[in-house]
Structure 1
Amino acid sequence: MNTPLNPLDLSGRHFLVTGASSGIGRSTAILLHRLGARLSIVDLDEAGLSAVQAELRGGGQVEPHRTDLSDIPAIEPLVGRCVAANGPLHGVVHCAGIQAIVPVRTLQVEGWRKIFAVNTEAALMLGKTMSSRKVYAGEHGSIVFISSVMGMAGSIGAIAYSMSKAALDGMARSLSLELAPRGIRVNCIAPGFVQTPLLERTGKLWDEGQRKAVEDLHPLGFGKPEDIANAVAFLAADTGRWITGSVMVVDGGYLAR
């Protein structure tokens, strides 16, 4: 009797995951590793990266790389180091991001440019590096950017964040057309509010009534990092073979209201 095919099997494939020290990035790294992938994990939090690497010992190779992704010119050398350590890339998952609640009257140029650099420009540079023959493994190519429902729906104080995510969605659509002839798919995932350390820090500014009001915007309640990681795995693996240029909404019903 033949063993059933697992279309989510990532054995032998190498993925670069940014924002891997916590939240969605950490859950994504753990899941892709469990599915057999080799990983290059990237974050500014060196201690967090070490903790993830220690947790994933015993499986495929996991290489940590501490990097400030707001330094756009440094991304191409970073990818070169990842390839040198772990082989050519089959995919990239950009989970790193900056979220800030800042009313427009106090929004400063340097603030929104930092948000845009990490959330959008870093994603573009990662996609650009995947177009290189020296970087791309040549098959099973998949790029997944973590966007947000805030790229589609407005929210007071989220102007810079919404701008960066809306731009990310548009950029990914055009990038998907350029990279399709190379066999590289490009997609975004737009989460609603997910229970990450970032949400918990934001939640400290809310009273119980405010927290409940935000959660009630999601018919299925707040999401968990694993919910987004599952969607990433679907797009990264052969289950997403015929999907590109899309924004997959994973929001517990937030946009349905």
Structure 2
Amino acid sequence: MDAFSLTNKTILITGASSGIGRSCSVECSNSGANLILVGRNEEELMKTASLLNPGTKVEIIAEDITHSERLEAIIAEKVAVLGKVSGFIHCAGIEKTLPLKKHSVQLYHDIFEINVIAGFEMAKILSLKKYKEETSSFVFISSVAGMVGEAGKAAYSASKGAVIAGTRSLAMELSRGNIRVNSISPAMVNTPILEKMFEDLGEDASSEIIKKHPLGIGEPKDVANACIFLLSDAARWVTGSNLVIDGGYSAQ
């Protein structure tokens, strides 16, 4: 059997309504997985569902995962329909580029709430035996901003650094339950978030950022393919790692 296949695996993906989360959903579907798509915008989740391989079984959770009291109950419902979860990708996140003097306590709270806490809370639920397959794999989307410094990104970088560090601790703790935990750190990827950032920065600043990527700006599929590897049996001996997918950005 193909070790990279996700056939018969149920994968839960947060942030599935756009960008990297949408691409992960499509590529996991193409690799044979059944999916639980999580996001705030039901219409966009339905759009993601329409892009999936026709044979894919899919369930949708349209909730704000930072404030949902019913999250575990909803997951229990979906597991009852699709079967236990063997993979989880936390793609949900927000990015803000602001000078330090414009950072507020609320900004730190907002960014950490979705980028870090919501993902770890989801992992807590999905690590329970009643919801997970005998072996499972959790993947957190971090960022090269969690590894290298960048002006205007204090809160965002801190949150992504927390994801990398937290992932290592989760890997140590959850290995006894046959759960592998890894993070992926992309550089700039062609998503709606990036388009908005380039609009705000202007042409000159944007082209400077593009030049810092020796292989150019990435596509969401580049990150999705790395997720498929980490979710698959091909990565059965990989845990506590941070896989850098950045077109050479951090090699400089």
CA distance in 1, matches of 2:38, 2:160: 20
Q: Please, what TM-score do these two structures have when normalized by structure 2?
A: 0.96
Aligned partners of 2:151 and 2:73: how far apart in 1? 37
* Higher alpha-carbon deviation: 46-55 or 189-198: 46-55
What pairs with 1:31-180 in structure 2 (closer than 5 Å)? 31-56=27-52, 58-71=54-67, 73-139=69-135, 141-180=136-175
Taking structure 1 as the reference length, what is the TM-score of the superposition?
Answer: 0.94
Give the drift of 1:203: 0.8
Q: Aligned partners of 2:144 and 2:70: how far apart in 1?
A: 29
After TM superposition, give the deviation of residue 172 of structure 1 in Å: 0.6
The partner residue of 1:210 within 205, 208, 230 is 205
Closer/same/farther in 2, CA of residues 230 and 57 from structure 1, 3 Å limit? closer
> Structure 1, residues 69-118: CA drift from partner, whole Å, max 9, x if none?
22264443342233133221101000010101122212122221111010
Deviation digits for residues 146-173 of structure 1 (CA, Å, limit 9, x no counterpart): 0000001111111111111111111110
Aligned to 1:256: 251
Q: Secondary structure at the match of 1:70?
A: coil
Q: Residue 224 of structure 2: which of 220, 223, 229 is its match? A: 229
| Structure 1 unaligned blocks of 5 or more | none
Moved segments of 4+, more than 6 Å: none
Quick one: distance in 2 between partners of 1:27 and 1:135? 24
Distance 1:65 1:72, change over 3 A: closer
Structure 2: segments with no counterpart, 5+ residues: none
* Rounded Cα–Cα distance in structure 2 between residues aligned with 1:224 and 1:124: 26
Residues 15-70 of structure 1: per-residue CA shift (max 9 Å, x gap): 10011111110110001111111100011121110111122262120111111122
| Partner of residue 191, structure 1 | 186
Contact 1:102/1:157 (CA < 8 Å) preserved in 2? yes
Q: Which amino acid aligns with 1:82?
A: K
Q: State which drifts further: 68-77 or 195-204.
A: 68-77
Aligned-residue CA RMSD in angstroms?
1.3
Provide the identity percentage: 40
Contact 2:90–2:119 at 8 Å: present in 1 too?
Answer: yes
Count of equivalent residues: 252
Shift of 1:144: 0.2
- Between 1:129-138 and 1:181-190, the stretch displaced more is 129-138
Matching residue's letter, 2:98: V
